[in-house]
Structure 1
Amino acid sequence: MRTQATYAESWHSIELRKFAAPKGEFEDQPLFALYRLYECFVLDKVRHYRNQLEYFWRQNQWPVSGIPDPQDTDPARYAFLAGVTYLMARSFNARVKIGLTRDAHPIMTMEEAEKAKSVPDELRPYEEPPAWATRVPPLEEVLRIPADDESLLGRHPLHQARVGPAEYSGSFPIRIVCVSDTHNQRPEIPPRDVLIHAGDLSDNGSFEEVQAGLDWLAAQPHRHKILVAGNHDVLLDEAFLARYPERRYGNPKTAADLVWPSSVVYLNNRSTTLEIMDPAINPDKRPAKDLDLIRTSASSRKLRLYGSPYTVEYVPSAFQYPRADTTFWDNKIPSDTDIVVTHGPPRLHLDT
């Protein structure tokens, strides 16, 4: 068992993101993916861990035995990385044993499945852990992740979401609901102070789809509504449409022709500040200008948001920047921002 002091040291190293892959290692490479598995495990992201493992399986050009030696200086992390390669080989081999291969299509016909099963066992592409993993020295004590100890949950910001509602410094809480990737669907959204839509309001990004999506947002009861575009919302990216005019789908109308609801704030690499009134003194949600006589520092709170639709380029689609551009986000987000809304994921979190 580790002491609480040791736990604190472990969390401190996590906070400093020392578990990130070595500098200079290209993100879409086996070693980087291995560190992602470590990150998902430490952060108790079981679903993300599963997705990362599945992603690695689909990269048939990445044999488990070919994962480079990270030569990690942290003994516990090094042991974990080595152990994961054994688990990966065991997991992948369970699939190989029933006839699956890493280069096969994820959906197989019955005929293809039967043919795969008929391959002699000695000809099947079984995986092996890398040679360096066999040389990693074992730990002197059992490695425990802090999430195993319920008494420690909430002592690190990464686990705040697991111990109940976050604390707030104002006189009343601000309730926010965030959705994204609705793709022309109209889900039921719970009432809150602020509604954030983080992109892909539409599916094909046609004028008709985007306008219908805006009308749907306008009909929502939330007093404050924020919209960030996504890569599917091509109508809102004139630069993209200039290169791919066929994505207008024969409609000459542009984003300038949209009837934009006054209740929806569109953020495209810019910020906005919302003033949230205490619902206790504003139960009818009257406009803020009608409450000037009763507004005090305790009756309202301000929330500054920055929004951007951009994601790393991966297919011809809207609002994307070159993967090689490592300075794209430099000096874009103001330091006094409370909430950052982007359509793309944060770095190191399913961002490939």
Structure 2
Amino acid sequence: MRLLQISDTHNRHNELTNLPEADIIIHCGDFTEQGTEEETLDFLNWFLELPHMHKIFVTGNHDLCLWDAEGIEDLPENIHFLQDRGCEIEGIKFFGLAYNHSEELIPDGIDVLVTHEPPVMILDESSGTHWGNAPLRNKVFEIKPKYHLFGHAHDAFGTEKHDGIVFSNGALLDDNYNMRYNPKVFLLDRK
């Protein structure tokens, strides 16, 4: 199974033409800039039209109008808004944590954790500041998903492996909001 990760597009999703093929596309939040309903609808219309079989997204700190949403009405079955909830796709267990929500909501036994915030001290430094979340880091090392996908720290784009966990910051814009990075594709074994 091929996973395509993107994050921190801040209303510039329409610039992402010729995205790589994948079974699942995952957006790790900050798809808007001001967090308005209009920006969110523009993103969702774009996201719905993508050719990927399954689509997953979580909120970021800019996506204000969805912070308290428990779901979004009338989304097709292949679109998964993982606001403190999980889904299973072809035997792979995903869980998405809404921005600034408690890491205690993350269950054991997941394969892919999707958050907006990075864990502290792992791909979290941007503009000289570590933006990571310490309790989130502790929880990730406790439950040990195969992948932890996130964004938020724009200049910390990259992938690292620690203790058997692949950590990936998929922010596509740098700190100056230039589209600088390429989306990441991961190969995941089906169960």
Bucket of the pairwise TM-score, normalised by the shorter protein? 0.5 to 0.7
- Structure having the higher helix fraction is 1
- Contact 2:33–2:63 (8 Å) recurs in 1: yes
Q: Provide the C-alpha distance between the structure 2 equivalents of 1:274 and 1:261, rounded to a whole number of angstroms.
A: 14
1:191-210 aligned within 5 A: 191-210=21-40
Question: Residues 67-86 of structure 1: matches in 2 within 5 Å?
Answer: none
Show the 5 A alignment for 1:323-334. 328-330=102-104, 332-334=105-107
Pair 211,261 (structure 1): closer, same or farther in 2 beyond 3 Å: farther
TM-aligned CA deviation for residue 261 of structure 1: 4.2
Contact 2:67–2:98 (Cα < 8 Å) also in 1: no
Structure 2 alignment gaps of length 5 or more: 125-129, 132-191
Aligned residue pair count: 121
Answer yes or no: is 1:339 the counterpart of 2:112. Answer: yes
- 2:8 is aligned with 1:234: no
* In structure 1, distance between residues paired with 2:86 and 2:98: 13
Give the alignment of 1:139-158 within 5 angstroms.
none
1:39-78 matched pairs, under 5 angstroms: none
Which structure carries more relative contact order (alpha carbon 8 Å, separation 6+)?
Answer: 2
CA contact (8 A) 1:191 1:222 kept: yes
**DSSP-derived class of the 2:41 partner:** helix
Match of 1:235, SS?
Answer: helix
Cα distance change of structure 1 residues 260 and 202 upon mapping to structure 2, 3 Å threshold: farther
Q: Scaled by the length of structure 1, what TM-score is found?
A: 0.32
Distance in 1, matches of 2:20 and 2:48, equals 15
Supply the AA of the counterpart residue of 1:270: R
* Contact 1:268–1:309 (8 Å) recurs in 2: yes
Q: Which of 45, 58, 62 lines up with 1:215 in the alignment?
A: 45
1:175 aligned partner = 2
Identity %: 36
Alpha-carbon spacing, 1:344–1:226, altered in 2? closer, same or farther (3 Å): same
1:140-183 Cα shifts (integer Å, max 9, x gaps) = xxxxxxxxxxxxxxxxxxxxxxxxxxxxxxxxxx1110001111
Q: Write the distance in 2 (CA, Å) between the matches of 1:207 and 1:306.
A: 24
SS in 2 for 1:226: strand
CA distance in 2, matches of 1:270, 1:219: 23
**Residue 269 (structure 1) shift:** 1.1
Query: What TM-score, normalized to structure 2?
Result: 0.58
Question: Residue 121 of structure 2 corresponds to which residue in structure 1?
Answer: 348
Please list every run of at least 4 consecutive aligned residues from structure 1 whose deviation after the TM superposition is greater than 4 angstroms.
none
Instruction: Tell me by how many angstroms 1:348 deviates.
Output: 1.9
Aligned twin of 2:81: 266
Instruction: Find the residue that maps to 2:113 and give its secondary structure.
Output: strand
Match of 2:176 in 1: none
Q: Aligned partners of 1:237 and 1:260: how far apart in 2?
A: 17
Q: Secondary structure at the match of 2:45?
A: helix
CA distance in 2: counterparts of 1:259 and 1:217, whole angstroms: 14
> Deviation of residue 333 (structure 1)?
1.9
Runs of 5+ unmatched residues, structure 1: 1-173, 240-254, 276-301, 311-319, 322-327
Aligned CA RMSD, in angstroms, stands at 2.0
Query: How far 1:262 moved relative to its partner?
Result: 3.9
**What is aligned with 2:98?**
309
2:97–2:106 Cα contact (<8 Å) kept: no
Q: Distance in 1 between matches of 2:77 and 2:86?
A: 17
